[in-house]
Copies of this chain bind each other. A is one copy, B any other.
Amino acid sequence: MRLFLLLLAFCVAPGFALADPLPSWRDGEVKSGIVAFVDAVTEIGGPQYRAPSERIAVFDNDGTLWAEQPAYFQLLFAVNRIAKMVEADPAVASSPALKAAASGDFKALLATGKEGLLEVVTVAHSGISVDSFQAEVALWLEETRHAMTGRRYDELIYQPMLELLSYLRDKGFKTYIVSGGGIHFMRVFAEEAYGIPPEQVIGSMSETSYNVDGGKPIIMKEPGIAFLDDKEGKPIAIDRIIGRRPILAGGNSDGDLQMLEWVTSGEGPRFGILVHHTDKEREWAYDRKSHIGKLDKALDMASKRDWSVVDMKTDWRVVFPFELAQ
């Protein structure tokens, strides 16, 4: 009897069955579309039901799960690491790009062009073991603040997307990151920030080597890119690593176009989400002409392919988790 009362109390608790799984999303087409899709694929016996093993959702990271202005955070990490390396050994500053990075002079760094940026990223991401590299990323996250907001970089994650990730997992989805960012970089914070474990983080990869020194094996990051997880690279990585086509994909830029195209053109129910950065008050507003997170062709394709475009300004009640504590 006691058990029965307890069960009854639980079931009739106010809002129990009606709790909103996406409280930071304003009611509207995008939110109702997400919920309708999830309801459809989880309705046992329903015409659009998909087994849990097929409920795979993939998300870009930069600009989709966390912010990416004024520059990709991983590039800011790279510049910071070069500065530390040069402090320890001035000989590291052996080129105009490395010199510019070491002095934090972004204007001079950008003037060195793509080659200069690639050099900075390569030097910052090689000649170090994976373990040591990840310890440095963790330290950087602890020590460094995003200049425009004064926040830790891993605080600049999107509350509505955190809710979406949790909601999907609660409904039996496996959530993956599929990002142009580096795997070793993202894995440092992805589990704590997003609840996404290392083995569900797919990204760009530097070359790595396996070395045994005095019986102790070590994996070293080497110069050179083993895989660039951007544009066509995203569906290719999904095929290689996940091995089946996800049924939901989220992105925010033209770099995500092929991933959304691949995911949403499969058979059965599919869902594509594009985060459109439209909120210059709470975040940033940029799209077709941005150097970072350019959203142009994918925005044109959204209506043709029936992708849901998130208007950050109107669709999101809250942008960052720290707003909730304020």
Contacts and interface: CB of A to CB of B under 8 A. Distances in A.
Nearest to A304: B215
Interface stretch (A257-265, A268-276, A316-324): A257-265
Interface in A42-66: 53, 56
A183 interface: yes
Interface residues of A, number: 33
Contact of A265 (B130, B208, B216, B241): B216
Given A210-B262, A262-B210, A199 B232 contact: no
A262 B215 CA distance: 10
Contacts of A243: 183, 187, 197-199, 201
A244 B53 CA distance: 23
A235 interface: yes
A149 interface: no
Would you call the interface of chain A mostly helix, strand, loop, or mixed?
mixed
A199 B235 contact: no
Given A215-B265, A217-B265, A265-B217, A239 B199 contact: no
A240 interface: yes
A71 interface: no
Nearest to A207: B236
Interface of A: 53, 56, 130, 174, 183, 187, 197-199, 201, 205, 208-210, 212, 215-217, 219, 226, 232, 235-236, 239-244, 258, 261-262, 265
Given A217-B235, A226-B240, 6 more contacts: A56-B199, A130-B239, A197-B243, A209-B236, A210-B235, A241-B241
17 contacts: A53-B197, A56-B199, A130-B239, A197-B243, A198-B244, A199-B241, A199-B242, A208-B236, A208-B240, A209-B236, A210-B232, A210-B236, A210-B258, A216-B265, A217-B258, A217-B261, A217-B262
